[in-house]
Chains A and B, each alone.
Chain A
Amino acid sequence: MANIQKIFTGMSQGPETIDNNLNAINTELQNVDGVVSSLQWTDVTSTGLVFQNGFNQLGSDSSHESVYRFVQFKGWKLVDLQIMVTLSAAPSNTSYATAVSLPDSISYDGWHEWVENDKYQLTINGNQFRVSVLGTNGWWSGDGSHYVAHILYAHVD
């Protein structure tokens, strides 16, 4: 943070102090700009993702598979997570299952859920991405089945 000197009536070298303050602010802004311009997304990866209960990657290219990337800030990350999974066989005797386990380093700090096609509820909570079947709808499994989510969130380290 810029070191700003207090300005008061009758102070000596007031104009010079004001000028020093403005220079200090300019320097700080340049530093911030340098930091921001050096921020970069990591490479897209699926490292650390664990697929469970019959869920698997939907495809084998980055536009059809579960991947993530992040920007590292001091003490936190901005995470861009894409979940694209298919279900090979429906979990038996349950309407709820974990689909993907996320690495702790990009876990979701909280709980968020949303509904897909009025039939499935997708939930992200901590390091778990879960799918639940709503009402009397059954699991959508086999060829063509896919559950998709794309979210941007902050993870506190």
Chain B
Amino acid sequence: MKGVYRADAKTHIFVSSDIVPDDYVLKANESFENPTGKVSPAKLQGAGWVDATPEEHEAYLKQQEEEFLAQHPTQVQQPDRGDQALNLLGQQIAKMQQQQTTLMQSVNALGQTVTKATVSSAAQPANSQSAAPAQSAASAQTSAQAQA
């Protein structure tokens, strides 16, 4: 017994294999060469198989996957529970960061308001209290000179 490997008559793409007697005579679109190792879908050229092009390979995989997913709609990729929990945690962290940013902006705004209030309230008392002793000293000195 030996293997025979068959290609589609129109596309020459590998479609199936079979086991046949040792004296089997090849028919059209058949080969005794095994296309294992060739880039799928392998194409029959003469007695041997050749690699598919990268584009043909991509299209072949995509077609197979689409066929499978059409038969298995539940197999459409869904994040598992761990990923879902991680996503939820990420969303919560993003929300907390946003809240923190808002809070920081509020604190900054409040700080500026307090600073302004401190500066404006400190401006007048500072003039009268710091200038008064000098004026008093000057007055006292003047008074002493006058007395002298």
User: What is the interface of chain A, defined by CB distance below 8 A to chain B?
Assistant: 45, 47-53, 56, 91-98, 101-106, 121, 123, 127, 130, 132, 134-136
The residue on A at minimum CB distance from B36 is: A51
> For A104, what are the chain B residues with a Cβ–Cβ distance below 8 Å?
16-18
> For A105, what are the chain B residues with a Cβ–Cβ distance below 8 Å?
18-19
> For B34, what are the chain A residues with a Cβ–Cβ distance below 8 Å?
50
Q: Supply 20 A–B pairs (Cβ within 8 Å), ascending by A.
A: A47-B1, A48-B3, A48-B19, A50-B35, A50-B36, A92-B61, A94-B61, A95-B77, A96-B61, A96-B68, A96-B75, A97-B61, A98-B40, A98-B64, A101-B17, A102-B17, A103-B3, A130-B68, A134-B75, A136-B80
Tally of A-B residue pairs with Cβ under 8 A?
84
B69 within 8 A of A: yes
B58 within 8 A of A: yes
CB-based contact A127/B19 at 8 Å: no
Q: With A47-B19, A51-B37, A103-B18 known to touch, is A121 a contact of B75 (CB < 8 Å)?
A: yes
Using C-beta atoms within 8 Å of the partner chain, give the interface range for chain B: 20 to 34
- Majority DSSP secondary structure for residues of B touching A: mixed
> For B78, what are the chain A residues with a Cβ–Cβ distance below 8 Å?
135-136
The residue on B at minimum CB distance from A57 is: B36
- Minimum CB–CB distance for A72 against chain B, Å: 12
B2 within 8 A of A: yes
- Minimum CB–CB distance for B27 against chain A, Å: 14
Complex: A25 Cα to B43 Cα, angstroms = 57
Instruction: Give me 12 other A-B pairs in contact (C-beta within 8 A), A92-B58, A92-B61 excluded.
Output: A45-B1, A47-B19, A51-B37, A53-B61, A94-B65, A96-B68, A97-B65, A103-B18, A104-B17, A130-B64, A135-B79, A136-B79
CB-based contact B16/A101 at 8 Å: yes
Complex: A47 Cα to B4 Cα, angstroms = 9
CB-based contact A52/B40 at 8 Å: yes
> For A56, what are the chain B residues with a Cβ–Cβ distance below 8 Å?
36-37
- Minimum CB–CB distance for A139 against chain B, Å: 12
> For B62, what are the chain A residues with a Cβ–Cβ distance below 8 Å?
93-94
- Minimum CB–CB distance for A105 against chain B, Å: 5
> For B3, what are the chain A residues with a Cβ–Cβ distance below 8 Å?
47-48, 103
Complex: A103 Cα to B3 Cα, angstroms = 8
Complex: A53 Cα to B36 Cα, angstroms = 9
> For B17, what are the chain A residues with a Cβ–Cβ distance below 8 Å?
48-50, 101-104, 127
B55 within 8 A of A: no
CB-based contact B18/A48 at 8 Å: yes
Complex: A127 Cα to B5 Cα, angstroms = 13
